[in-house]
Structures are given as structure tokens and as C-alpha cells.
Amino acid sequence: MTLRRIFLFSLLGGLTAARMLAAAASEIAGKWEFVFQTPVGERKSPLEITAEGTQVTGKMGEVVLKGAYQDGKLELKGNVYSSEGGYTAELRIIGKVEKDEISGTATWDTYQMTFSAKRAE
């Protein structure tokens, strides 16, 4: 195999990977409506997700969550203040994305919960 062919295969592989990352970013980016099943009842929260490659940022009002999205798996975390609890703790979200829905688990401090989310219209 010539150096030219090796270079072309490497270049094409890199372009394919870049396209795949762009497709993944567009799959998760946008506005979502999250519903958390907490120990004290259902809590709804809009979340806007932006993505750059596999790195994602989620915004719930003033709260910023950072994480990653790859192969259909979303992970976000950030500090969230609870007016009910009266203190700030880390919220960690782990979910699986399927089309326009996300489902998974979340942990805030020692409290564990499930959630579901749908793309906002």
C-alpha cells in the first residue's frame, strides 16, 4: 500500500468519525422536558442541552450541568440547590437516549430517583 493510499484512508476515516460525532451531537442537542420521580413526588424541569462532539452542557434555568453523550448514553452532573432541602448537592443524571426520549436514573445527594424526558415541542 502506498503512502498516498494510507493517507487517503486515514483522512476518510477521520472525516467519517467527525460526521458521526456531529450526528450524535445533533441527536441530543435541544430542549427537553424532564420528569423526575423523587422520594417526595414528581418534579418537572425543562433542560436545554448543547453539544460539541461528545461533550454536552445542560441548562436548567440558572443551573449548569456538564457531561458527555456517546453511543446513546447521556451523563450529566452539576450542583443543584433544593429549596425543599435547603442546601446544595451534586445532581448526577445517567440516561439512555432513544429517538426523542431519554430515561434513566438520577442521584441528588443520597436521594435516588428515576426520570423520563421527551423532546420539547
Domains in the chain: ranges and CATH: 3-119 (2.40.128.120)
Banded pLDDT at 20 (limits 50, 70, 90): very low
Distance, in Å, from the CA atom of 37 to the CA atom of 28, rounded to the nearest integer, reads 22
Banded pLDDT at 18 (limits 50, 70, 90): very low
Q: What is the tens place of the pLDDT at every residue in 67-100?
A: 999 999 999 999 999 988 899 999 999 999 999 9
**Model confidence, pTM:** 0.79
Q: What is the tens place of the pLDDT at every residue in 35-70?
A: 999 988 999 999 999 999 999 999 999 999 999 999
CA–CA distances in Å: residue 74 to residues 22, 51, 58: 15, 11, 11
Distance, in Å, from the CA atom of 40 to the CA atom of 22, rounded to the nearest integer, reads 39
Q: Check: CB of residue 73 under 8 Å from CB of residue 45.
A: no
